[in-house]
Structure 1
Amino acid sequence: MFKNYLKITVRNLVKNKVYSSINIIGLAIGIASCLLIFLWVQKELSYDKFHKNAHRIYRVERELYRENAFSRWPITSGAYKQPLIDDFPEIENAVRFWGKEYAIHDSRGNIHRQAAWAVDNSIFQIFDFKLLQGDEQTALKSPYSLVLTREKAIALFGSADVVGKSLVFEWEDKPTEFKVAGILHDIPLNSHMQFNMLVSISSYPAEYFSNWRSNYLYTYVLLSKNVKWDRFEEKLKSFVSQRLAPFYGDLTHGEANIHEVLRMVLMPITHIHLHPSSNWEIQPGGNAASVFIFSSIALLILIIACINFINLSTARANKRAKEVGLRKSVGARNFQLQVQFILESILLSVISLVIAL
């Protein structure tokens, strides 16, 4: 029985080539457009979710309210890290990122201008940036150690098997050897931070990070399990009043409450790409409004394509009234006719979907 329905369905579609083509092409274009937009939206929403602890990782940011103006700053002082860990048991770990450009001598004697991030070794305990070679517990603990992505290692050395080899940096105005302590997997494209070289932040003297007003690096924290970040954020007021207020007296002019002009907030790592800061962001981010708009457009396109499909099918059904009457006269039941029409619609939809893919 089904084979007979299918044979009649195919015969009707072939017989009405113009109608079938218009219906299939219209629906296929609608589905293809929706799929393309969906893939883009999915990519935008996937940023930084590949980290196992993504729901517990936050960037420490500052909000300033001065002269009726508001600004949000994702950069902090290098002095924040350890006091945050010491003051709040809710913070399990923290890491600092400091991006700079260096002059590097490669193994062939060539000099490169190379962007790199100075980081704490805790990067490997907080983020899922995995090493292909090297020990994640110690790779960036020692001064003058570095980690390369596989691609960058091949570009600089001609091979990815370079752990233990050295690169010469122009460091603090003098040539300094950095030893390769690890090789990283290449960073996923859906990470809000992109890099191919990391150096140990301990290569810098501790004095570089003692000034609470020198804000030029990024601080990320890993909260303990079951800590509600929005509630914990309120506790950061004590950090502002006890740690920061002594160094920010000029903001209050001796009158305003420090909390009226300076706040510390936590930005979930999965929100950074779609809600980037307008000041000192690591790299240009996306736009949450654009994601919503394009999602709405995709839904509208699909609705219009479906309505067009239904209208054409309805118009075609009206023209087939004579065929329906003839089938009934030879004993066809309403159920059988319904199955026939439904099968035609399903076949058209499947063909459209295949073309769209």
Structure 2
Amino acid sequence: MIKNYFKIAIRNLYKNKLHTGINLIGLSIGLGISILIFFFIQFEQSFDKFHSQAEYIFRLERHEKDENGFNSSYSTPISTAPTFGDEFPQVRQVTRTIGGGAQAYLDESTIQFQPFLMVSPEFLEIFDFKLLRGEANQVLQDKFGAVITEKTAKKYFGDTNPIGQTIRMRMEDDFEEYQVVGLLEDLPANSSIQFEVLLNDENMDFSIGKESQNSWYNVYGETYVVLNDPLAKREVEAGVDAMMKKVLGENYVAGEYYFTLEPISAMHLLDTQNPGMIENTRPQLLWILAGIAFLILLIACINFTTMAIGRSTTRAKEVGVRKTMGAEFGHLVFQFLTEALLTTLLALIFGLILAETILPTFNALFEKELQLVYRFEQILVLFGLTLAITAMAGAYPAFFMSSLAPIRVLKGNLSFKFGKQRLRKGLVAFQFSISFLLVASTLIMVNQMNAIRNHDLGFDQDMIILVDVPDVPSTSFVKSITASFAKAETYRQALSSRSEVNSAGITISTYGDDAFWDGGFSLEDGKQFSFRLNFVGGDYLKTIGLELAEGRDFNPDPKSDSSAFIINETFAKAMNWEDPLGEIIPNNRFNTHQIVGVVKDFHHNSLYGQIEPVILAKSPATLFSGVNMLMISSASNPKVVVRGNGSDIEQFQAILKEEWERIYPMDAFSFSFMDEAVADQYKADERLGKMVFLAACIAILIALMGLFAMAALAIAGRTKEIGIRKVLGASSWSISWMFNKEFLVITLMGVLVALPLSLYFMQSWIEQFTVRNWPSWFNFFLVAIGGILFTIMIVSGQSYIASQMNPVKTLKDE
């Protein structure tokens, strides 16, 4: 019997090629996108869970109070690791992770900047990164031993055995030799902690002075602890206050400086702009993508349901005959569900092919290394999804059709006019509302991102190239910055003599969230004042295009203006200075200094955050003399900021490289574009906008296919009525309007529901920006008009063909 059900199902699907095709296309697209999103969500949720001790490992988060409330960060003082290990018996192991980098080379032909991660010797015992060669408890014991990944080994040593080989890295004035003692398998794509080279954290002595290492107000890198019991997290956090009182002494103020513990299994899916040394994914993105997948599938299922109901006229007599021949209700339900299952299985196959086809594009969009791996768990989910769609799309038609009374059906007493089927009208209206919701959301996102791109940031980002200058390592931070700036100045002056260069300056920070360093000092009344700082040189203001509100620029001579500060307007307002020029910061710790200029406010952060008080300085010694808080979240090496005169960017790059190799032949040339640094801040929302746009296009396509099929079914069910109207003198236009007005009402219902909902749902997204720009009502009006025009085109085309049929044929008795 079951074999017979499948035969009949295949015959019915083949017989109704148009409706089968529309259902297959809609469900295939919906399933393909949903499968891809399902694997992506599963991949994102798997981050860091491959570590065998994942539930025992926690990352420390530091909380410190300032005048704006609490400042939270994952950067921690150097002393944090040993202190937690000593003070808490619940802590079994602890490790630091401090990022760094140096010029590295094997020979004169292999010179490049090599990033590395300085960690405690227990690092590879805590985290399950697979060692191919070496022992986890031994490889990080030696200060001058290096553990590298397979990819790094191939870069330096090709296919030869890297163990015992050396990499020379400039760690201070000289190049130190590091022997490769361990080889790691390339890191998993779902690891939040990424690196190329691991070094023992004793190497921080090359760049961090002893005073800074012992300070609780200077932070470097992050700290991870392993607890004996995950439930001990609360005990440790409860004991932090007593620990801080012990280590801070007279500087201790209850509740103003403390640490909390974050499970590593949760650190990738963080709802924060500042995730620390890792790249995070906002949980909202996963919810939005899951919602998109569900909506697309729902639209496809609605198509299936409405078309099945629409075919009631042709299937009703079949049901009546089968019931007369003895078919039971359950048998008929099973028959219709079998057809739905076959359609869904075929759509699943096509959907899997589609998912594999667009996977590279998806990975490029989200910058991921997602792979579709079909293990038992994934197959089980796909099987469950198939059954769910079969039930969702086929259940109502199956039960509806199977419940028809055979006497009424065979006597022809049933009426299935489109206008009288409220359920079907409601489903189609709901389908349109989803489509218009996605279209309107896309419109809002595109409009907002255009506003972000066109917003005046207070500086000129065009035709600016940033050339990285390797820092000169030193245990004295001031000496390191000063020496690095001197190195950058040599290159800057060489460029300034070239006619192709408009101007050139030097900067530590560029643009973006946490690009400018955080500083703080105590005011005379004891309150803490927080600000952002940047060290600059040369013609920085001129090159970057910052405008002076009052005062003067720095003298480009590196030996002058060592005691001068330039502030922004927000800093002056925060200090209540009506005439800032010549003012002295009210703090007796600062060396002799003077405010010489005020620049107009500019956006040093992305447009997610407000403009903050900013100090620009030439001398690190002068500025550091007065601060009691410093947090460095970006690179500490200077960059030469260069603006070109011409428009040939490739030729300009070649000039910059030529000068660099002439002056510093032993250092790798590295550069970036200022406008790319700006654009990078909004990558996540740009990706989301593209995804919503794609979803809107798919939703519209499926909805329009459904509209086409529904119009065809509605017109096919009323061909005799059309014939009678033609005989009585009705025009093609009046017949077209008869059908159009029914579908236009549905379209308008969808629009009226979708537009307010889009404003409601997008409110929280757009509020994350400090610059907000909603689309005008005219834009929404155009969306509505577009939907109406599509409806008219599709319905009019179908009704016109029907109206041209010969009434003799349509009125002929069967």
TM-score under structure 1 length normalisation: 0.91
* Cα distance in 1, alignment partners of residues 275 and 22 from structure 2: 51
Alignment pair present for 1:343 and 2:307: no
What does residue 232 of structure 2 align with? 228
SS at match of 2:221: strand
SS at match of 2:94: strand
Alignment pair present for 1:131 and 2:127: no
Structure 1 residue 158 displacement after superposition: 1.1
* Aligned partner of 2:267 among 269, 272, 287: 272
CA contact (8 A) 1:116 1:198 kept: yes
What does residue 329 of structure 2 align with? 334
* Cα distance in 2, alignment partners of residues 160 and 231 from structure 1: 50
CA contact (8 A) 1:28 1:352 kept: yes
CA contact (8 A) 1:98 1:117 kept: yes
Where does 1:195-214 land on structure 2 (aligned, <5 Å)? Answer: 195-205=195-205, 207=210, 209-214=213-218
Structure 1 residue 86 displacement after superposition: 1.0
Tell me how large the CA RMSD over aligned residues is: 2.1
Counterpart residue identity of residue 285, structure 1: N
Kindly tell me: are residues 59 and 28 of structure 1, through their superposed partners in 2, closer, same or farther at Cα, counting changes over 3 Å? Answer: same
SS at match of 1:234: helix
Structure 1 residue 319 displacement after superposition: 2.8
* Cα distance in 1, alignment partners of residues 249 and 29 from structure 2: 59
Identity %: 34
Counterpart residue identity of residue 339, structure 2: E
* Aligned partner of 1:243 among 227, 247, 253: 247
Alignment pair present for 1:319 and 2:327: no
What does residue 49 of structure 2 align with? 49
Kindly tell me: are residues 204 and 263 of structure 1, through their superposed partners in 2, closer, same or farther at Cα, counting changes over 3 Å? Answer: closer
SS at match of 1:59: strand
SS at match of 1:227: helix
What does residue 216 of structure 1 align with? 220
SS at match of 1:258: coil
* Cα distance in 2, alignment partners of residues 228 and 291 from structure 1: 30
Q: Deviations over 1:24-81 (max 9, x none)?
A: 2222222222212212211221111111111111111211221133321111111111
CA contact (8 A) 1:98 1:118 kept: yes
Structure 1 residue 149 displacement after superposition: 0.2
Counterpart residue identity of residue 342, structure 2: L
* Cα distance in 1, alignment partners of residues 272 and 334 from structure 2: 57
Structure 1 residue 177 displacement after superposition: 0.9
* Aligned partner of 1:258 among 254, 258, 281: 254
What does residue 5 of structure 2 align with? 5
Structure 1 residue 222 displacement after superposition: 0.6
Structure 1 residue 159 displacement after superposition: 2.5
* Cα distance in 1, alignment partners of residues 234 and 308 from structure 2: 53
CA contact (8 A) 1:30 1:301 kept: yes
- Unaligned stretches of 5+ in structure 2? 353-814
Counterpart residue identity of residue 228, structure 1: A
What does residue 277 of structure 2 align with? 282
What does residue 180 of structure 2 align with? 180
What does residue 112 of structure 1 align with? 112
Alignment pair present for 1:149 and 2:149: yes
* Cα distance in 2, alignment partners of residues 342 and 168 from structure 1: 69
What does residue 290 of structure 2 align with? 295
For this pair of structures, how many residues does the alignment match? 348
Kindly tell me: are residues 71 and 212 of structure 1, through their superposed partners in 2, closer, same or farther at Cα, counting changes over 3 Å? Answer: closer
Kindly tell me: are residues 39 and 85 of structure 1, through their superposed partners in 2, closer, same or farther at Cα, counting changes over 3 Å? Answer: same
Structure 1 residue 198 displacement after superposition: 0.8
SS at match of 2:231: coil
Is the helix fraction higher in 1 or 2? 2
* Cα distance in 2, alignment partners of residues 171 and 275 from structure 1: 34
* Cα distance in 2, alignment partners of residues 174 and 280 from structure 1: 34
Comparing 9-18 and 35-44, the one that deviates more: 35-44
Is the strand fraction higher in 1 or 2? 1
CA contact (8 A) 2:221 2:277 kept: no
CA contact (8 A) 1:75 1:280 kept: no
Comparing 208-217 and 30-39, the one that deviates more: 208-217
CA contact (8 A) 2:90 2:232 kept: no
What does residue 164 of structure 1 align with? 164
What does residue 40 of structure 2 align with? 40
* Cα distance in 2, alignment partners of residues 289 and 272 from structure 1: 14
Kindly tell me: are residues 134 and 40 of structure 1, through their superposed partners in 2, closer, same or farther at Cα, counting changes over 3 Å? Answer: same
* Cα distance in 2, alignment partners of residues 19 and 101 from structure 1: 62
